[in-house]
């Protein structure tokens, strides 16, 4: 019979802590995110828009003409991802990039007329997806849920 006193245990296990996979907060958040993303992607695909481009369009609808660096920061993606997304959006005629005359290193991103027009088509699809996801959940509970998510994000940024 093995000597259990020398057995390696995960940190916290000796104190009786357990983390059931299906109950883990990160796991539940990931499942929720994947379900939301899949539902919206299905709707965006009907308009031949990739989910990966959705965040860039959404930011540009609110702040057209911002720098590529600012766009990347607002979408919270690293520069390489932004370059790939903008290359695709430019190929499809939804955005155009303009190099600054003052500082040639700065590139501004502008919506084209087609890119601007998509706002009125795509935003209702996102609203419909969010409405479906939150069906049966009252406003107060949703507001509380958003506050909890914001607190979790704040806690993790602070550590």
Supply the CATH number for residue 112's domain: 1.10.10.10
pTM for the predicted model, two decimal places: 0.79
Domains: count for the chain: 1
Give backbone dihedrals phi and psi of 107, rounded to 5 degrees, phi first. Answer: -120, 130
17-46 pLDDT, tens digit per residue, is 777 777 899 999 999 999 999 999 999 999
The answer to the question of residue 11 being in a domain is no
Residue 111 lies in domain: 22-130
CA angle 106, 109, 110 (to 5 degrees): 140
The answer to the question of residue 156 being in a domain is no
Q: Is the dihedral of CA 102, 87, 34, 127 positive or negative?
A: positive
124-153 pLDDT, tens digit per residue, is 999 999 999 999 999 999 999 999 999 999
pLDDT of 6 strictly over 50: no
Q: Token pair for residue 100?
A: 């600054």
């Amino acid at each position: 019979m093995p000597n259990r006193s020398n057995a390696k245990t995960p940190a916290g296990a000796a104190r009786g802590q357990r983390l059931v996979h299906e109950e883990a907060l990160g796991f539940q958040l990931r499942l929720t995110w994947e379900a939301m993303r899949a539902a919206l992607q299905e709707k965006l695909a009907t308009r031949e828009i990739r989910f990966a481009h959705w965040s860039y369009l959404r930011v540009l609808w609110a702040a057209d003409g911002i720098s590529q660096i600012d766009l990347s920061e607002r979408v919270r993606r690293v520069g390489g991802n932004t370059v790939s997304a903008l290359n695709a959006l430019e190929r499809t005629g939804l955005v155009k990039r303009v190099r600054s005359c003052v500082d040639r290193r700065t590139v501004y991103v502008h919506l084209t007329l087609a890119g601007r027009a998509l706002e009125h088509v795509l935003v209702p699809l996102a609203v419909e997806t969010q409405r479906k996801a939150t069906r049966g959940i009252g406003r107060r509970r949703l507001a509380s849920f958003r506050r909890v998510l914001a607190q979790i994000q704040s806690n993790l940024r602070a550590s």
